[in-house]
């Protein structure tokens, strides 16, 4: 129903009188102005209403109206509406309260006008959906009829007892005339005594009749055009079979609204799938938009303005600037870190391929968008449908898979190199040792032998790391409780790092997990050494742990379920943002190479060990503010241990 303000449809030319006005004078005003009601006011505020029906009821039950005033018969319990109300609200008040006249008041409660059934029906604009209804669905079959010789008194009695606004005068079941409430008021004003008049003397002719097959919208059009409130329904032999009034039309609007929706959706289902404007009028689209929580669904017009969107759209695109309706789709992609979203590309690719697919990075998240064109029966593009989803988690899983494959290949290579390299180093060290044994320490070449031996030992240590890296794939798995592991051993650091302090805060009740205790200690030692290397001037390394449950929205490349999360935090120099994606790559290092640091395998070994335990390791770092490494290990069972280590 149209959202039309009621102030655009109500009648402002209202006849208002004092409640003390004689009833006879009020009836004359009603007849002279050809109106169906008069409003009683005091201090410009409505206090009652007097209608044609009230007048007919009064003259049918009393000998006359002499001495009566408007206040004696008016209805003081007024149904009122604000001038700011909508057409639908006016319709609802008229239908719910079974009235023909709705009093409109301004913000101060003063009389502003009257909205009638006629006013509402003219502006409902229901032709588009009641065209499927014929008159038989809404007409009244109980038509009150009289013969031409019926007296006015008999007619008044029938109108009051049946609470109707008219009677049809008939001969042999064919309509020959009609008498309405307005006719009775006119007759009374003209002659005063109507007791001797008959229906045939005063009836209006000819009667406006319509066939039963006529659509409702045509009947409404006739009423509006001829300014009448009722039509007699006749069969092909012109005999009376029913009557339809404005009240019938308005009353049936709400009763048949659901049936109307079913008919429209049944007849136009194909068009709903092709035309976005038709989709906008149906509940089906709204349900579709709200049903998905992981996929953003948007409907656009041909100019890429957003017509509809679901709640997932605001979450995926992190939109917090108010409603999206009416915005151009490009507004959602303004902060893309890579190539900007282009509507021209969308038009070109949907025209050529039928679909456009795009990948953008928004706020560090990867968004995949698929756009398809919606075409009408002439193959013209009338809009677009957009499906977008956050694929950040899938990208992480993909990167983890590539990294794991790369580590596996390198570990195989490292094992082969370490074996051959170790044989060479062993031979070199043996020769150096023999040379030292036959040379006096005072010899000028002795110092060179010492330097060569030192370099060979460093190479031997690197060979040992390569060997360790190649053997990670065969862990000795047992049940492990973190609180029972001798973590202090992991904090044994070279003399160069004597200013670094380790703090272990391991709470009671941690879940147990399946792991190789030796390899887990190696992870801790590598992470602690890495932290110490980032604090040349000294500092602290803090190790904490807690039980967590990984859920879908956490964005971790792990199966959902219980884990022990271990955090290793340092107060060092931090890691540059550009280095973070490579931090676990073999041989990648930001430190100077030397005997105790810089080989570039420590973190790669940590990554390989944790991944081989079906866990995950990540880092959060900001340059100048330190780093925190997070280790996630899957839980073996849900029974907490009662030990604690601090």
Rounded CA separation 299/286 (Å): 11
pLDDT of residue 628: 94
Cis amide linkage into residue 206, ω under 30° from 0: yes
Per-residue pLDDT tens for 113-165?
A: 999 888 877 776 554 445 446 788 788 888 999 999 999 888 888 888 888 88
Rounded CA separation 602/508 (Å): 30
Cα-flanking dihedrals φ and ψ of residue 502, to 5°? -110, 130
CA angle 197, 202, 206 (to 5 degrees): 150
Tell me the whole-structure pTM to 2 decimals: 0.41
Joined together, the tokens standing for residue 47 give 């206090």
Give the number of C-alpha atoms closer than 13 A to the C-alpha of residue 12, restricted to the C-beta side: 7
> Which class for 282: exposed (0-12), middle (13-18), buried (19 or more C-beta within 10 A)?
middle
pLDDT of residue 131: 47
Beta-bridge partner residues of 506: 645
Per-residue pLDDT tens for 85-125?
A: 887 778 778 877 888 899 999 988 999 999 988 887 777 65
Beta-bridge partner residues of 634: 563
Q: Tell me: pLDDT of 232 over 80.
A: yes
* pLDDT band, residue 324 (cuts 50/70/90): confident
Per-residue pLDDT tens for 413-454?
A: 666 666 677 778 888 888 888 888 888 888 888 888 888 888
Rounded CA separation 126/138 (Å): 14
pLDDT of residue 497: 66
pLDDT of residue 261: 41
Per-residue pLDDT tens for 364-413?
A: 778 888 899 888 888 888 889 888 888 877 777 777 677 667 666 666 66
Find the DSSP H helices in 438-547.
446-470, 517-533
Under 8 Å between Cβ of 626 and 571: yes
Mean per-residue pLDDT of the chain: 79
Per-residue pLDDT tens for 164-219?
A: 889 999 999 999 999 998 888 888 888 767 777 899 988 989 999 999 888 887 88
Q: Work out the average pLDDT over 314-322.
A: 78
Per-residue pLDDT tens for 451-503?
A: 888 888 777 766 766 666 655 556 678 888 887 777 666 666 666 667 788 88
Helix (H, G, I), strand (E, B) or coil at 212: coil
E strands in 85-173: 101-105, 111-116, 145-146, 166-171
Joined together, the tokens standing for residue 259 give 């049936």
Residue 619 DSSP label: E
Q: Please report where in the chains the tokens 């609204």 appear, as a residue.
A: 257
Rounded CA separation 473/409 (Å): 12
For 473, residues 6+ apart whose C-beta sits below 8 A from its C-beta are 408, 411, 612
């Amino acid at each position: 129903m149209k959202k039309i303000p009621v102030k655009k449809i109500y009648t402002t030319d209202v006849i208002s009188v004092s409640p003390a006005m004689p009833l006879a004078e009020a009836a004359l005003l009603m007849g002279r102005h050809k109106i169906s009601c008069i409003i009683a006011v005091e201090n410009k505020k409505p206090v009652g209403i007097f209608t044609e029906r009230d007048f007919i009821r009064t003259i049918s039950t009393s000998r006359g109206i002499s001495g009566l005033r408007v206040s004696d018969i008016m209805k003081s319990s007024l149904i009122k509406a604000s001038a700011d109300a909508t057409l639908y609200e006016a319709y609802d008040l008229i239908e719910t309260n079974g009235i023909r006249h709705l009093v409109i008041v301004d913000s101060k409660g003063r009389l502003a006008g009257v909205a009638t059934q006629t006013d509402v029906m003219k502006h409902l604009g229901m032709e588009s959906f009641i065209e499927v209804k014929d008159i038989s669905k809404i007409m009244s079959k109980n038509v009150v009829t009289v013969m031409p010789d019926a007296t006015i008194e008999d007619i008044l009695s029938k109108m009051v007892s049946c609470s109707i606004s008219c009677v049809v005068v008939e001969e042999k079941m064919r309509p020959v005339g009609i008498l309405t409430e307005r006719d009775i008021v006119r007759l009374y004003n003209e002659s005063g005594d109507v007791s001797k008049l008959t229906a045939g003397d005063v009836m209006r002719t000819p009667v406006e009749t319509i066939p039963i097959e006529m659509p409702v919208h045509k009947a409404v059009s006739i009423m509006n055009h001829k300014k009448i409130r009722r039509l007699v329904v006749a069969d092909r032999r012109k005999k009376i079979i029913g009557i339809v009034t404005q009240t019938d039309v308005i009353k049936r609007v709400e009763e048949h609204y659901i049936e109307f929706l079913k008919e429209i959706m049944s007849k136009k289902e194909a068009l709903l799938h092709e035309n976005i404007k038709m989709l906008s009028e149906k509940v089906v689209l709204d349900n579709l938009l709200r049903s998905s929580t992981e996929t953003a669904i948007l409907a656009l017009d041909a100019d890429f303005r957003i017509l509809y969107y679901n709640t997932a759209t605001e979450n995926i695109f992190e939109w917090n600037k108010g409603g999206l309706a009416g915005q151009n789709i490009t507004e959602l992609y303004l902060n893309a870190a890579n190539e900007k979203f282009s509507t021209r590309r969308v038009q070109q690719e949907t025209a050529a391929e039928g679909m456009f697919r795009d990948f953008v990075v928004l706020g560090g998240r990867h968004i995949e968008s698929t756009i398809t064109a919606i075409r009408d029966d002439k193959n013209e593009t009338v809009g677009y449908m957009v499906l977008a989803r956050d694929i950040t988690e899938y990208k992480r899983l993909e990167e983890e898979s590539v990294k794991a494959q790369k580590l596996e290949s390198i570990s195989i290579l490292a094992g082969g190199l370490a074996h051959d390299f170790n044989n060479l180093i062993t031979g070199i060290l043996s020769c150096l040792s023999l040379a030292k044994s036959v040379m006096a320490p005072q010899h000028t070449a002795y110092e060179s032998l010492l330097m060569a031996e030192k370099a060979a030992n460093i190479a031997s240590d690197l060979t040992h790391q390569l060997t360790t890296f190649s053997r990670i794939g065969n862990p000795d798995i047992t049940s492990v409780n973190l609180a029972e592991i001798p973590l202090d051993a992991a904090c044994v650091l070279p003399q160069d790092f004597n200013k670094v302090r380790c703090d272990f805060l391991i709470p009671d009740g941690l879940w147990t997990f399946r792991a190789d205790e030796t390899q887990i200690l190696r992870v801790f030692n590598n992470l602690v050494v890495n932290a110490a290397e980032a604090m040349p001037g000294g500092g602290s390394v803090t190790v904490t742990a807690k039980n967590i449950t990984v859920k879908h929205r956490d964005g971790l490349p792990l199966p959902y379920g219980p884990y022990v999360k271990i955090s290793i935090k340092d107060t060092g120099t931090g890691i540059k943002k550009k280095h973070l994606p490579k931090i676990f790559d073999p041989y990648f290092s930001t430190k100077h190479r030397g005997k105790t640091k810089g080989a570039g395998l420590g973190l790669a070994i940590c990554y390989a060990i944790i991944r081989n335990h079906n866990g995950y390791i990540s880092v959060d770092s900001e340059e100048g503010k330190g780093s925190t490494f997070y280790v996630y290990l899957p839980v073996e069972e849900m029974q907490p241990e009662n030990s604690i280590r601090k």
